[in-house]
C-alpha cells in the first residue's frame, strides 16, 4: 500500500493522498500537525507538564519531503519540523477521521 499521488492544498489546508488501492485520504493540516508522530510531540501529548508552556501548534505547511519509500516528513512553519509520517500512520489517520465522521452523522 503506497500513495500514487500526494497533493497539498494550502488554501483548503488539506493534504490529499491517492493510494495504489484506490483509497483517497483527505487529511486536514490541523489534524496532521496535532498528531505529529515525532518523539517530542508524542512526549508532549502523553505527558503534558502543567508547568510547561506548551508551544503553539503551527498549521501552516512549510515543506513536505520524501523519506525513503515509506514515509514523508512534514515541516510546519514556525512549528515542528521533525514529524516522519509513515504510510501506515497516514492510513490510520484516515480511518480515524472516517470513524469520527460516521459518529457525527
- Residues found near Zn ion in the complex (CB under 5 A): 36, 38, 41, 80, 83
Nearer to Zn ion, 10 or 45 (CB): 45
Nearer to Zn ion, 27 or 36 (CB): 36
* Least distance in angstroms from the C-beta of 8 to Zn ion: 18
* Least distance in angstroms from the C-beta of 89 to Zn ion: 12
Phi/psi at 97 (5° precision): -60, -45
Nearer to Zn ion, 18 or 57 (CB): 57
CA dihedral 37, 43, 44, 47 (to 10 degrees): 140
Residue 96 to residues 12, 27, 28, 34, 61, Cα–Cα distance (Å): 20, 10, 12, 13, 21
* Least distance in angstroms from the C-beta of 77 to Zn ion: 13
Distance separating alpha carbons of residues 83 and 67, to the nearest angstrom:
11
Amino acid at each position: 500500500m503506497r500513495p500514487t499521488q500526494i497533493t497539498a492544498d494550502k488554501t483548503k489546508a488539506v493534504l490529499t493522498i491517492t493510494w495504489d488501492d484506490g483509497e483517497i485520504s483527505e487529511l486536514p493540516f490541523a489534524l496532521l500537525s496535532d498528531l505529529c508522530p515525532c518523539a517530542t510531540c508524542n512526549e508532549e501529548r502523553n505527558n503534558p507538564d502543567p508547568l510547561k508552556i506548551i508551544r503553539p501548534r503551527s498549521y501552516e505547511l512549510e515543506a513536505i519531503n520524501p523519506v525513503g519509500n515509506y514515509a514523508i516528513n512534514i515541516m510546519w512553519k514556525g512549528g515542528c519540523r521533525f514529524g516522519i509520517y509513515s504510510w501506515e500512520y497516514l492510513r490510520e489517520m484516515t480511518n480515524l477521521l472516517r470513524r469520527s465522521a460516521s459518529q457525527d452523522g
